Structure 1
Amino acid sequence: MAETLLQVSDLKVHFEIGKSMFKPGVIIRAVDGVSFEVGKGEVVGLVGESGSGKSTLGRSILRLIEPTGGSVNFDGSQVTELASAQLKALRSQMQIIFQDPYASLNPRMSVGQIIGEALLLHNIGTRKDRPERVGDLLEKVGLPRSAAARFPHEFSGGQRQRIGIARALAVNPQFIVADEPVSALDVSIQAQIINLLQDLRQELGLSILFIGHDLSVIEFLCDRVIVMYLGKIMETATAADLYSKPLHPYTRALLDAAPVPDPRVRRSRITLKGDLPSPINPPSGCVFRTRCPFAIEKCAQTVPPLEERGERHSVACLRADELNLRE
Structure 2
Amino acid sequence: MAETLVQVSDLKVHFPIGRSLFKDGVTLKAVDGVSLDIARGEVVGLVGESGSGKTTLGRALLRLIEPTEGSVRFDGTEVVGLPPRDLKALRSRMQIIFQDPYASLNPRMSVGQIIGEALHLHSIGTRADRDERVGDLLEKVGLPRTAAARFPHEFSGGQRQRIGIARALAVNPDFIVADEPVSALDVSIQAQIINLLQDLRQELGLSILFIGHDLSVIEFLCDRVVVMYLGHVMETATAADLYTQPRHPYTRSLLDAAPVPNPRAKRDRIMLKGDLPSPINPPSGCVFRTRCPFAIEACAQVEPALETVGPRHAVACIRQAELNLME
Q: The TM-score by the shorter chain falls in which range?
A: over 0.9
Report what 1:54 is aligned to: 54
- 1:123 positional shift: 1.1
Report what 2:142 is aligned to: 142
AA aligned to 1:91 is R
2:283 matches 1:289: no
| Partners of 2:218 and 2:63 in 1: CA distance | 24
Q: SS where residue 202 of structure 1 aligns? A: helix
Report what 2:130 is aligned to: 130
| Partners of 1:322 and 1:31 in 2: CA distance | 28
AA aligned to 1:58 is G
2:159 matches 1:164: no
- 1:265 positional shift: 1.7
Instruction: Write the mapping of 1:76-95 to structure 2, written as runs, cut at 5 A.
Output: 76-95=76-95
Instruction: Write the mapping of 1:203-222 to structure 2, written as runs, cut at 5 A.
Output: 203-222=203-222
AA aligned to 1:231 is G
| Partners of 2:128 and 2:229 in 1: CA distance | 49
- 1:150 positional shift: 0.4
- TM-score, normalised on structure 1? 0.99
| Residue-by-residue CA offset, 1:220-239 (whole Å, 9 max, x unaligned) | 00000000000000000000
AA aligned to 1:261 is P
| Partners of 2:310 and 2:236 in 1: CA distance | 11
| Partners of 2:264 and 2:258 in 1: CA distance | 15
| Partners of 2:8 and 2:278 in 1: CA distance | 25
Q: SS where residue 309 of structure 1 aligns? A: strand
2:8 matches 1:31: no
Report what 1:322 is aligned to: 322
Q: SS where residue 148 of structure 1 aligns? A: helix
- 1:264 positional shift: 3.0
Shifted more, 256-265 versus 172-181: the winner is: 256-265
Report what 2:193 is aligned to: 193
| Partners of 2:184 and 2:29 in 1: CA distance | 27
| Residue-by-residue CA offset, 1:13-35 (whole Å, 9 max, x unaligned) | 00001011211111010000000
AA aligned to 1:263 is P
- 1:108 positional shift: 0.2
| Partners of 2:292 and 2:272 in 1: CA distance | 7
Q: SS where residue 127 of structure 2 aligns? A: coil
| Partners of 2:10 and 2:92 in 1: CA distance | 25
Shifted more, 84-93 versus 260-269: the winner is: 260-269
- 1:81 positional shift: 2.5
| Partners of 1:197 and 1:98 in 2: CA distance | 14
- 1:125 positional shift: 1.3
Q: SS where residue 5 of structure 2 aligns? A: strand
| Partners of 1:216 and 1:326 in 2: CA distance | 19
AA aligned to 2:298 is K
- 1:263 positional shift: 2.0
| Partners of 1:56 and 1:95 in 2: CA distance | 15
| Partners of 1:106 and 1:34 in 2: CA distance | 33
- 1:129 positional shift: 1.7
Structure 2 gap ranges (5+): none
| Partners of 1:10 and 1:112 in 2: CA distance | 40
Report what 2:311 is aligned to: 311
- 1:132 positional shift: 1.0
- 1:160 positional shift: 0.3
| Partners of 1:251 and 1:75 in 2: CA distance | 30
| Partners of 2:101 and 2:234 in 1: CA distance | 30
| Partners of 1:295 and 1:173 in 2: CA distance | 43
Report what 1:120 is aligned to: 120
- 1:266 positional shift: 1.2
AA aligned to 1:314 is A
Report what 1:274 is aligned to: 274
AA aligned to 2:256 is D
| Partners of 1:76 and 1:324 in 2: CA distance | 39
Structure 1 gap ranges (5+): none
2:266 matches 1:256: no
| Partners of 1:255 and 1:139 in 2: CA distance | 37
Report what 1:153 is aligned to: 153
Moved over 3 A (4+): none
Q: SS where residue 14 of structure 2 aligns? A: strand
Report what 1:17 is aligned to: 17
Q: SS where residue 163 of structure 1 aligns? A: helix
- 1:128 positional shift: 1.7
Q: SS where residue 278 of structure 1 aligns? A: coil
| Partners of 1:175 and 1:297 in 2: CA distance | 42
